[in-house]
Amino acid sequence: MPESDLLLPVANQRPLVLTLDSHGQPYRWVSWQHAVIYYSRDMVAWAIGSESFTVHGGVCRKTGQRSEIRANSIIAIRGKSLPPGALIQTPPLSNRELFHRDRQVCAYCGVDLPFSRLTRDHIMPVSQGGADSWMNVVTACRSCNQRKGGRTPEQAHMLLLYAPYVPNKAEYLILSNRSILADQMDFLAHQLPSQSRWRKR
């Protein structure tokens, strides 16, 4: 992506910036406005990535020069240090991230469907003591979910096409942002769990 001029507040000119802790561990997404605050307060320890953008400010009356801040798409925040194991902490479960984890493919019939036709299926039904957790849920189309009902796949004679897994922090950041820049995706992809369906095969 060529360097962007973010003078005008147009929605498609507002990339989310990936922030890292001072050790290079993925932290969170922030708006370009928030990233500019980090730069203006000298809180950016270092920056990487091929994508960047420039935000222009006001004009100095004395010099006639216009202020500007150039920001990268991936920045490490000075003094921010995540606790050991933060990258593998279990992220919160929601349908949006679940459907993204499973690439919007039904775990029983294998059909790729839009969000509006997908549901969260509990492999071990809640009525049988199953937990509402990453390791017990898969994406299912409405038809397959209704067919399975309150039974396990074995009880319903339905084959699971893929196994559930817990996304790590890097994958969760991928799942929670639908407009990831190429360099951000490349950075996060190197930290995905081996079973991730987002890993390049």
Domain boundaries for CATH 1.10.30.50 within the chain: 92-148
Question: What's residue 51's pLDDT?
Answer: 87
Tell me how far apart the alpha carbons of residues 115 and 157 are, in angstroms, rounded to a whole number: 25
Report the largest interatomic distance among the alpha carbons of the chain, rounded to a whole angstrom.
78
**Residue 175: closest CA among 104, 79, 74:** 104
Angle among Cα 16, 84, 40 to the nearest 5 degrees reads 35
Question: What's residue 141's pLDDT?
Answer: 98
Q: Indicate the CATH number of 92-148 among 1.25.40.20, 3.40.50.2300, 1.10.30.50, 3.40.50.720.
A: 1.10.30.50
**Tens of pLDDT, residues 66-91:** 777 888 999 999 987 766 655 556 78
**Tens of pLDDT, residues 91-147:** 889 999 999 999 999 999 999 999 999 999 999 999 999 999 999 999 999 999 999
The lowest-confidence range among 11-20, 35-44, 126-135, 184-193 is 11-20
Question: What's residue 91's pLDDT?
Answer: 85
**Residue 25: closest CA among 190, 199, 197:** 190
Question: What's residue 74's pLDDT?
Answer: 96
**Tens of pLDDT, residues 26-42:** 989 999 889 989 998 99
Query: What is the mean predicted confidence (pLDDT) over 19-31?
Result: 90
Predicted TM-score (pTM) of the model is: 0.72
Cα 87–chain centre separation: 13
